[in-house]
Chain A
Amino acid sequence: MLKVEKLTKIYKTRKKEIVALDNINFELKEGEHLAIIGPNGSGKTTLVKMLTQLSRPSSGRILINNKEISDESKWLFGLMLGQMIIYNRLTVKQNLDYFASIYNVSNKDYEIKKILDYLEISDKSNDYADHLSYGTRSKLAFARAIIHNPKILILDEPTNGLDPASADSLREVIRNYQTVIFLTHNLYEVTSLADKLLFLKKGKQIYFGSLEDFCKKHNVDKNDKEAIEKLKEMYVL
């Protein structure tokens, strides 16, 4: 479904060139969940920005269903970034109504109500976004990302700032979602949600493969704490 080939991003300043991503290659099939992990500054967000066309690659290709990404591919993605892309001057409902209309969601009032009910924030639907707590804003950002039922959902630390119960319910939504790419520092989320794993460090691809292969290679069970410990080891290598 999604194929990334030799993706490289170089930021040029007057004095130097910064290689943010260097020759990244991976593939994701429909229905798979990919966790992108790595230390701060490893290029995770840059990669996500290129997938969603917020940033242009210096070289390499991104293919969706064997076609290079274009404006048409924008219909396929749902994105939740660190910056939540929420209009603080609008109410929860107005925010969702706008994005639902942009993505031509049919029966949008019903869809908005369904999502708000599911995320347990329907009582906030007429509140202005700037009056919401961080956790509720995160839920709204998540609702915005999935309002058009995108084929590929991209999430940047989706459970960051959520209380444990809310985080669990969001993880459940992610688990049941069709195709997901998520960035996280929470290694428990990696072992519980991911099928595939992409580890980046200083812009380089250190590991890409299935979580199962990773666990087999290190002779650990993915549900055991040891799997998390092995993932942690990659950070310090």
Chain B
Amino acid sequence: MYFKRTLTISFRQIWAITKKDLQLDLRYIAPLISKNFISPIKTMAWFLIIYSGFFSHSVNNFGGYTKENYIINLLIGSIFSIFFNLGAGSFPAKFFNEKWWQTIQGTLIAPINSYKLVLGISLSELIKAILGLLMVSAVALFLHPIPFYNFFIIFGIIIYTFIGLAAMGLIKAAFILVNENLNSIVEYFFLAVSFLSCFYYPIESFPSILRPIAYYNPIYQSLFLIRNIWLDQPISLFNVLYPLFFMLLLIVVGTSFYNFITKRFDIDGY
């Protein structure tokens, strides 16, 4: 009975966070469209131009990217890039806003824990990104059809990766609350992770010294898994378990870190 009640309250709170976040963003719809649709398409378009130039000038294979599959590779990378930016960037952006709006205290004094925050915000971001995801996926499916169950598996991988990324964003958000200088340093770490995730280029484009780092980057491994499922390439158990383990670890570490920071330090600079 107690468990059922706690669960009901938790669901209500998570949905309240999601609903509020959607309502906040939906008041001004143009920035939302720009962030979720235009930006990733813009980035993909640059690489599309570069690769089409490559492959029309006697290059046949660039780290597994070929004339036949580079567009589908870019589309998959684009889907993942959308979720990376939304996942890792959502909490920092929201906490910055809430500091400016002086509403962050509402979150801090409320009886909601960091897991509910992660789930509530992740759900809201997923809802906002769903149209973009469907649009890009439809094009990718048209160019390279896959069975429905494979698409379902890919969607599952995207969701757990996304929640892990949101928890990673919570670490950055915690720094935003207590010391914005540290946040800027973490920003570079996020940039490096993004760079080493190979959204729009193959891992072979890195110098050999960077390749092992990129290979063991769990975001890259998630993307690798999705690409290989989509393109019907072989996958190993390591490719499945390694990113899954890391995403679960990120959820635990991200929420624990946020709890530690917000319980130990005062909010600064608002």
Contacts and interface: CB of A to CB of B under 8 A. Distances in A.
A95 B238 CA distance: 46
A89 interface: yes
B111 interface: yes
A85 B106 contact: yes
Interface residues of B, number: 28
A98 B111 contact: no
B23 interface: yes
A81 interface: yes
Interface residues of A, number: 31
A193 to B, nearest CB: 23
B263 A85 contact: no
Given A101-B15, A102-B13, A102-B16, A90 B108 contact: no
Given A79-B109, A83-B105, A94-B20, A55 B266 contact: yes
Contacts of A237: none
Nearest to B120: A102
Contacts of A99: 106, 110
B260 to A, nearest CB: 12
Contact of B266 (A52, A56, A84, A101): A56
B109 A88 contact: no
Nearest to A98: B20
A71 interface: yes
Contacts, number: 74
A95 to B, nearest CB: 9
Contacts of B106: 85, 99, 144
Contact of B16 (A54, A98, A128): A98
A43 to B, nearest CB: 14
B183 interface: no
Nearest to B8: A104
A161 to B, nearest CB: 16
Contact of B111 (A54, A55, A74, A83): A74
B188 interface: no
Given A54-B267, A101-B13, A104-B12, A87 B101 contact: yes
Nearest to A53: B109
Contact of A102 (B23, B101, B103, B110): B110
A177 interface: no
A144 B105 CA distance: 13
Contacts of B101: 87-88
B237 interface: no
A26 interface: no
B115 to A, nearest CB: 12
A101 B16 contact: yes
B103 A56 contact: no
A103 B110 contact: yes
Given A101-B16, A101-B19, A102-B112, 20 more contacts: A49-B266, A54-B105, A54-B266, A54-B267, A56-B266, A71-B111, A74-B111, A75-B111, A79-B105, A81-B105, A85-B103, A87-B101, A87-B103, A89-B27, A89-B28, A94-B23, A98-B19, A101-B13, A104-B9, A104-B13
